[in-house]
Amino acid sequence: MVEHQRKHVLLTAALVCLSFGSTGCGKDEVTPPPTPCQQKDDIHAADWVPCRLKDMTLEEKVGQLFMTYAYGEQAADPNASMIASNQKDHGVDNAEQLISRYHLGGIIYFTWSNNLNNPRQISALSRGLQQVAMRQAPGIPLLIATDQEHGVVTRVGEPVTQFPGSMALGATRRLQDAHEAARITGRELRALGINQNFGPVADVNSNPLNPVIGVRSFGVDPALVSGFVQTQIRGMQAGGIAASAKHFPGHGDTDVDSHFGLPIISRSTQQLDAVDLPPFVAAIDAGVDAIMSAHIVVPSLDASGLPATLSRPILTDLLRGQLGYTGVVVSDSLAMAGARPFGDESDARVPVEALKAGVDLLLMPPKIDVAYNAVLAAVRGGELSQERLDEAVGRILALKQKRGLLAEPLVDEAALAQVGAASHLDAAESITARSITLLRNDARVLPLKAPVSKVLVTGWGVATTAALGEELSKRWVSAQVLQTGIAPAQSAIDQAVAAAEQVDVVVVLTSRAWENPSQLQLVSALRSTQKPVVVVSVREPYDVGYLGDAPTVVATYGYRPVSMRALAKVLLGVINPTGLLPVNIPEAGKPSSSLYPIGYGLSYPIP
């Protein structure tokens, strides 16, 4: 085969000479094809990855497998508290030392690690980190990631454009909205130097009481979720960043939060094929750059009792073999309780077992020094083969090449003009407005109109109630705000009832009220005042199943300011609610019932 290809190249060269009448085209002057790695510095060459692998030390290769966080606004933040935090967690002073010591392949940003304070600071941090990485391993930039799902999981706040979360997008039923939200998110993150987003969520929220997914999912219907996952991946990657579908093989039927425990999924393989896997198949078809593993046990796929992150039958046999996925597999955070099945031995053992199972990129090991040296020792001792190491590193390098990081590792400060651009903000407002879902309007209280002039905004959420009150007050009503917390005490309920007596209408916000029954007591007490009461569930819409005969109920699927602005417009009749439920709403205590079916939603009568 190789000799045949060589003859073809020589023949082609000869024909070119004849066609163009070139001189010097004798037999001896025909240029042979380049030998392997002759063009290793060509970052666009098809053989760049294998050639770069040949030049890397074992330590550099192992470092590429890890992505973790560092405290600080700068690569070498001089702040004493940041230095102390980095020393406590990693044994280094700053991100610069962390990258240099462990040859890291990636960094993940969080608000709590003081990485995400404003666009200019984020951009400068990204530039500084990439400069460190490029000095440490010339030609190999970092993956810089965050979790910008929007909605309840939003890392980068305003002035970056804020969109509603996945379930709200599902309520719009508009794939074009999901694509535009993802494309804008991708463009703005890339302008900040962030080149990988851990989203979209591909889990089907089939358990209404799911403690960790909920509104992070697009809905309960596998086909609906698949369509939105696929279009978001295409939009995000069109925006210039790597998308990451999560959490394989599906976290939607859990009753345990894998941050704090190890969920067990009791589905059969047939149920998995019908419900949980289709969105990941759609993600693969869309060319998703990465898929994140879940820390969940699925006995029908692997009887070992190990979480999917450590399961070769799930990550290699199923994901790679049966589903044909060839991109990067990234673990969920290895600091989560669900990723620690070996007790105190987990710090060293889990990274090695994850790599053996099929993970390529190891996210946030609790002790980077222990994890890094454990993988080094596993390769040197033969527990992990050089072939498996090169396979994982090769996929990570290929992703960096594919996303253009090799050509443009440093963020262009001029790109900051895209962040929060007027057209982006307009798109976010319009998309969010289409997600608000009216579930009950039995008393025809909505839309609010004269003689209503005074409104009490109460219930859950300090910032949320304030945002809604502010938006209502910008228009023709006077809004009083009295937040009562996640689990209102009787004194707070009494205060809200007293305030309700002084207004025309009460708007009360609930958030996962089934977990906090005193929220339901608040609603009941407010209704006893005989004032019109509008109940708004600002997270999962399942609250309506616990509200009895409350006559006026709205679902927003999110509590961020962008959702409260859209809600205010719906309450006041500026826009007509058009959202449709992307999940089934069961009656309280009857999870298999359907009080409100998927697709349900009311609009205001046309005047």
Place of tokens 């002035």: 159
Distance CA 495, CA 506 (A): 13
Report cis status (omega within 30 of 0) of the bond before 561: no
Tokens read off for 303: 């009887």
Distance CA 455, CA 474 (A): 13
For residue 292, what is the enclosing H or E element?
strand 290-293
DSSP strands (E only) in 137-289: 143-146, 148-150, 153-154, 196-197, 244-248
Distance CA 452, CA 552 (A): 16
Q: What does each C-alpha distance from 290 to 152, 196, 360, 368, 473 come to in angstroms?
A: 22, 9, 10, 22, 44
Q: Which of 230, 229, 211 is nearest to 219 (CA)?
A: 229
Distance CA 241, CA 143 (A): 10
Burial of residue 126 (number of CB atoms within 10 Å: 0-12, 13-18, 19+): buried
Q: Which of 45, 24, 23 is nearest to 36 (CA)?
A: 45
Instruction: Tell me if 559 sits within 8 A of 532, measured CB to CB.
Output: no
Tokens read off for 185: 């998110």
460: left (phi over 0), alpha (psi -120 to 50) or beta: beta
Helix/strand/coil percentages in the chain, nearest 5: 45, 10, 45
Residues classed as catalytic: 259, 332
Instruction: Tell me if 518 sits within 8 A of 493, measured CB to CB.
Output: yes
Distance CA 348, CA 368 (A): 9
For residue 464, what is the enclosing H or E element?
helix 462-473
Query: Would the CA dihedral through 529, 535, 539, 545 be positive or negative?
Result: positive
Burial of residue 291 (number of CB atoms within 10 Å: 0-12, 13-18, 19+): buried
Contacts of 547 (CB under 8 A, 6+ apart): 513, 520, 523, 535, 553
DSSP strands (E only) in 117-256: 143-146, 148-150, 153-154, 196-197, 244-248
Strand partners, 144: 107
Distance CA 265, CA 249 (A): 10
CA angle 153–155–156, rounded 5-degree value: 130
Tokens read off for 472: 């209502």
Distance CA 286, CA 70 (A): 32
Place of tokens 């007293």: 498
